[in-house]
């Protein structure tokens, strides 16, 4: 899958996504590390990439602000339990079709993930 990683995503997560065969670019590599959340959503949509982040504000932007996106994956957990988050992230990416993820906010946490479909 094609993914943009927000500046708050751990390097170990980016390395795992790359090792799993995903096409991942970072907000920093796109000179978006100082961009607002809305600008980051727009850039991901324009590039037709999922956005992966640890920033909970994206849920509010998508559901209350009704901002358009190409899908957001929100990672939740502390660094000490991120191996479990990575296990669930890998499960999400293996079990769900990209088309579903691109119309959703997916929340990944230790031992589970959930998908909230975005309204069009």
φ, ψ for residue 62, nearest 5 deg = -75, -40
Q: Is the pLDDT of residue 115 over 70?
A: yes
Q: What is the per-residue pLDDT for 120?
A: 59
* ∠ CA 52-88-118, rounded to 5°: 50
- Going by their DSSP bridges, the two strands 112-117 and 104-109 should be labelled as antiparallel
21 secondary structure, DSSP code: T
pTM of the model: 0.94
Q: What is the per-residue pLDDT for 31?
A: 94
Residues 5-20 have pLDDT tens digits of: 999 999 999 999 999 9
- Cβ atoms of 81 and 110 closer than 8 Å: yes
Residues 24-38 have pLDDT tens digits of: 999 999 999 889 999
43 secondary structure, DSSP code: H
Residues 55-111 have pLDDT tens digits of: 999 988 887 777 788 999 999 988 788 899 999 999 999 999 999 999 999 999 999
């Amino acid at each position: 899958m094609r993914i943009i990683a927000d500046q708050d995503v751990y390097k170990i997560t980016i390395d795992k996504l790359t090792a799993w065969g995903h096409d991942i670019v970072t907000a920093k590599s796109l000179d978006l590390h100082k961009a607002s959340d809305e600008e980051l959503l727009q850039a991901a949509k324009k590039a037709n990439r999922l956005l992966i982040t640890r920033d909970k504000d994206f849920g509010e932007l998508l559901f209350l602000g009704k901002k358009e996106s190409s899908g957001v994956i929100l990672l939740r957990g502390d660094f000490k339990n991120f191996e479990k988050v990575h296990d669930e992230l890998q499960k999400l990416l293996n079990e769900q079709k990209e088309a579903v993820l691109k119309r959703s906010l997916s929340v990944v946490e230790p031992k589970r993930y959930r998908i909230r479909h975005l309204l069009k």
